[in-house]
Amino acid sequence: MEEYDFLVIGSGSGLDVANAAVSRGESVAIVERGPLGGTCLNRGCIPSKMLLYHADVLETVERADRFKIDAEVRDADFAEIVREVTEDVGADSDSIRRGLDSSSDHALYEAEARFVDERTVELSGGVDDGARLRGERVLVAAGTRPAVPDIQGVDAVDYLTSTEALQLQEPPDHLVVVGGGYIAAELGHFFGTFGSDVTVIGRRPHLLPETDPEVGRAFTDRYADRFTVHTGHEAVSASAAGGEVTVETRPYPPASDGAPDGTGVTVTGSDLLLAAGRRPNTDTLDVAAAGVETDDAGFVETDEYLRTTADGVWALGDIVGEYLLKHSANHEARALMQNLFGDPEPVDYTAMPFAVFASPEVAGVGATEDDLDEGYATNTYRYEDTARGGAMKREGLVKAIVDLEGEILGCHIMGPEASNLVQEVVVAMNAGSGTVRDIRDSVHIHPALSEVVQRAFSGQFSRGGGGHGSGHDH
Residues 6+ apart with CB under 8 A from 385: 452, 455
Contact 174, 197 (CB under 8 A): yes
User: Residue 128: which residues within 8 A CB-CB, separation 6 or more?
Assistant: 109, 111
- Among the listed residues 206, 446, 468, 472, the single catalytic one is 446
Phi, psi of 384 (to 5 degrees): -65, -10
Burial 277-313 (b: 16+ CB within 10 A, else e): bbbbbbeebebebbbbebeeeebbebeeebbbebeeb
Half-sphere exposure of 184 (CA within 13 A, CB side): 32
* Residue 26 and residue 74 in contact, taking contact as beta carbons nearer than 8 Å: no
The residues that bridge with 412 in the sheet, in sequence order, are: 364, 399
- Whether 446 is catalytic: yes
Convert the chain into a string of H (helix), E (strand) and C (coil).
CEEEEEEEECCCCHHHHHHHHHHCCCCEEEECCCCCCHHHHHHCHHHHHHHHHHHHHHHHHHCHHHHCCCCCCCCCCHHHHHHHHHHHHHHHHHHHHHHHHCCCCEEEECCEEEEEECCEEEEECCCCCCCEEEEEEEEECCCEEECCCCCECHHHCCCECHHHHCCCCCCCCEEEEECCCHHHHHHHHHHHHCCCEEEEECCCCCCCCCCCHHHHHHHHHHHHHHCEEECCEEEEEEEEECCEEEEEEEECCCCCCCCCCCCCCEEEECEEEECCCEEECHHHHCHHHHCCCECCCCCECCCCCCECCCCCEEECHHHCCCCCCHHHHHHHHHHHHHHHHCCCCCCCCCCCCEEECCCCCEEEEECCHHHCCCCEEEEEEEHHHCHHHHHHCCCCEEEEEEECCCEEEEEEEECCCHHHHHHHHHHHHHHCCCEHHHHHCCCCCCCCCCHHHHHHCCCCEEECCCCCCCCECC
Active-site positions read: 446
